[in-house]
Structure 1
């Protein structure tokens, strides 16, 4: 009964609600989330006057700016970016990209890029709103906030006796469900990769993973300190290895880019009736990977002690660029520079490991397993940082509820490491889907506040409209 309900909810959110026929016998299937997020991305891109292009130099400046934290216990804007990057950059950037290319061809990469550029504007709006509606955190110190808090302020007027908003409660619950589901995916991904690469039984890998995670997440403020170290290392290592592989295969680059752009516009796919698969696999993977609009990243953005709300919005917009334009493109290059005959019939992690073995030999298989461990581990640490303000919104400011949720997530991490339960993975997808729906209810009416903050920031910078 429960499994059937989960399956139907998943189909409602991620399945094709509308099918549009295309030339050549193809069709374009549109899911509810695609129909929400892509128009939203276009709307906010226009509303912010094409912010991802206009203010990209300001994003770089914000990243390079010296940390200046005034509030005790708070984190800097860049540290909030690192936390959100830790959760964005995960399994989806590796196996998810492989799946998108397998199903939609090289052209799916182009549509991932397009979705990332649109998603940057949505990410800016939700992160800026998180800053505008943040509160002081009496438990951890610093600040807290996110969609549950700006949704609350939208529906509960100041001075009202209501302590909670129904929509805000539903968002917070959806987030906690989603992050429990992701905990299982993380455990299973790591144990499977280590079993394939090193032949280590899942039990040993899982015990080690849970033990290390417990030491970090059960301490009061260890999360950000650990991610400050882990995230830059994993991102730089993966990027450097991709650059090495790309330079090594430089002669093939023109044909790879030609393949991406040719298949993106379906010159070959239209004839074969597959243009819909190209577009939607790229779009869905881009939306799922960068999380723009889901309301996850604002939970970290609100915690930043920063001198202007719009600056954190720019940092989170840059996070979408890092996730999709950089990391997802790295995985795509590794795949597309591998001869097809070596990957035929393979899928998921097996396909990615075969590509890495072609490029770097046995070291490549070990490297991708280690990188996956870092990606997945940092995702788990990051989602528990996201959970803090939502647990507080639902259950109040107490250590009991905070600790119980962390223990639940650790249990889910262990269970996922021992076996894959598809319906639980779907539960994670349902969680992020519902988060997106509830978050978007608030983004449109409150979006003008973020645009106003952007205009004020540009005025301070002396940028002409």
Structure 2
């Protein structure tokens, strides 16, 4: 069996598994958990929105053991670097191409309820974070499964899956989109693009989390602002199309008007799938970044990560959707990043393809380094040994090259399988531990009402155990 046949078999198997996980299980679980967390949290994603914005500017803190961590803003940008990538450009385009404009509505829904899910998982990650050996913190689902559920075995399973999903599969998706965009705009050889990406990725990831944080804290704001400015330009030059566009989105969301593959089923399925890939709420990825922040209270970072879901989907994904739907290019058979390029070209001219190629490089490359960090911290959970971390780094750069030269459908199908499996494990765990996350939120709100800056100690929550970093509480820098 040659390489092409092996890839074909893998692709067929991934398609079959996707049909089962997504059609029958994950959509119900995602929306159900999001609604449950929203109600239990008293609609925190709306009522605490002002707090979220203020918390971004907080300074880092030093733990009682002298650990500093990184700032809330840098932890936010690491997670946003992973969220804001091909899901925002290629993923939105794919959702619209396969599910019609109505898929955008379901992306909004999964983001709005998913913000509460993001709060729960990231707050738990802060509660159960640990000191690392590099003057900082690490944590995530594997850690709260071990410490909160006393299930290290489940943590190891999750750690293996997320290391494969983000460091390997998702990074192949990112490099695939980069190479396709550069090939389409400039005719660049995808193998050469893959080699360049390998070199750039190695330079960053062999520098560790501090370098990852430094890169993403610069690149993410710049790339997001530039892209949004272009989207606003398109919007304001087509104001007469705005109301009809929303009519199209809402009518297709409920199957009133069939477009492309037609009906409410396609709209929901593709909207939820691409929405999850884009904002990652409930998948168990962002908590790994949330745990690295040095904050005085776990709820602070939980709220910041809830904001990340809003920024990713409600703002950036919507900007892409506006550009695509107002162009009608989704009716012409294009898909993925090519559809986004065609739509922008329709609005602003031929130079748009070049702009998107540059934008997708910045979006996707920042995602590559953010994704890698999720893998690294989970490799350290399994075995804290630099030999294993360095082996993992070499495998990561190999998968970056693999993605750059493979076909579009293969890497996206693998991504859907891996993120679906990951999400089911994590959602089960955080549903069991959600009462603790809301007790932490209540403690935060109680202190806010007293007019003090909330500070968390293990003793604040009765019978709370296995918290390495909160026994004496952090001290302000």
> TM-score, structure 2 length as denominator?
0.87
Stretch moving more, 83-92 or 98-107: 98-107
Deviations 1:273-320 (A, max 9, x none): 712222222222222221111100001011110111001000000000
The corresponding residue for 2:278 is 289
The corresponding residue for 1:151 is 145
**Unmatched 5+ residue regions in structure 2?**
1-5, 452-477
Stretch moving more, 376-385 or 196-205: 196-205
- Does 2:406 align with 1:401? no
* 1:343/1:355 contact within 8 Å kept: no
Deviations 1:360-388 (A, max 9, x none): 21210001111110111011100111122
Deviation at 1:350, TM superposition (A): 2.2
* 1:178/1:429 contact within 8 Å kept: no
Instruction: Return the alpha-carbon distance in structure 1 between the equivalents of residues 141 and 8 of structure 2.
Output: 28
Instruction: Return the alpha-carbon distance in structure 2 between the equivalents of residues 127 and 421 of structure 1.
Output: 32
Instruction: Return the alpha-carbon distance in structure 2 between the equivalents of residues 246 and 393 of structure 1.
Output: 46
- Does 2:102 align with 1:107? yes
Deviation at 1:455, TM superposition (A): 0.7
SS, match of residue 292 in structure 1: coil
Instruction: Return the alpha-carbon distance in structure 2 between the equivalents of residues 425 and 32 of structure 1.
Output: 19
Deviations 1:102-132 (A, max 9, x none): 2222222111111111000000000000000
Matches within 5 A, 1:288-437: 288-340=277-329, 344-395=332-383, 397-420=384-407, 423=410, 425-437=412-424
Match of 1:68 among 60, 74, 83: 60
* 2:45/2:116 contact within 8 Å kept: yes
The corresponding residue for 2:127 is 132
Stretch moving more, 442-451 or 29-38: 29-38
The corresponding residue for 1:98 is 93
SS, match of residue 296 in structure 2: coil
Deviation at 1:39, TM superposition (A): 0.6
Q: Specify whether residues 426 and 368 from structure 1 end up closer, same or farther in structure 2 by C-alpha distance, changes over 3 A only.
A: same
Structure 1 segments (4+ residues) deviating >4 Å: 1-10, 421-425
The corresponding residue for 1:21 is none
Instruction: Return the alpha-carbon distance in structure 1 between the equivalents of residues 15 and 26 of structure 2.
Output: 11
Deviations 1:58-90 (A, max 9, x none): 111112x23233255511112111101101111
SS, match of residue 61 in structure 2: coil
**Unmatched 5+ residue regions in structure 1?**
18-28, 157-163
SS, match of residue 23 in structure 2: strand
Match of 2:171 among 183, 190, 198: 183
SS, match of residue 385 in structure 1: helix
Deviation at 1:424, TM superposition (A): 5.1
* 1:87/1:379 contact within 8 Å kept: yes
Stretch moving more, 346-355 or 232-241: 346-355
Deviation at 1:6, TM superposition (A): 7.3
* 2:60/2:69 contact within 8 Å kept: no
Match of 1:58 among 51, 61, 76: 51
Instruction: Return the alpha-carbon distance in structure 1 between the equivalents of residues 319 and 359 of structure 2.
Output: 13
The corresponding residue for 1:15 is 19
SS, match of residue 31 in structure 1: helix
Deviations 1:313-363 (A, max 9, x none): 0000000001110111011011011145x8512222222211111112121
Q: How many residues align?
A: 440
- Does 2:35 align with 1:42? yes
The corresponding residue for 1:229 is 218
* 1:111/1:282 contact within 8 Å kept: yes
* 2:130/2:138 contact within 8 Å kept: yes
Deviation at 1:9, TM superposition (A): 6.0
Matches within 5 A, 1:231-246: 231-246=220-235
Q: Specify whether residues 2 and 350 from structure 1 end up closer, same or farther in structure 2 by C-alpha distance, changes over 3 A only.
A: closer
Matches within 5 A, 1:159-178: 165-178=152-165
- Does 2:114 align with 1:119? yes
Q: Specify whether residues 415 and 102 from structure 1 end up closer, same or farther in structure 2 by C-alpha distance, changes over 3 A only.
A: closer
Stretch moving more, 438-447 or 311-320: 438-447
The corresponding residue for 2:201 is 213
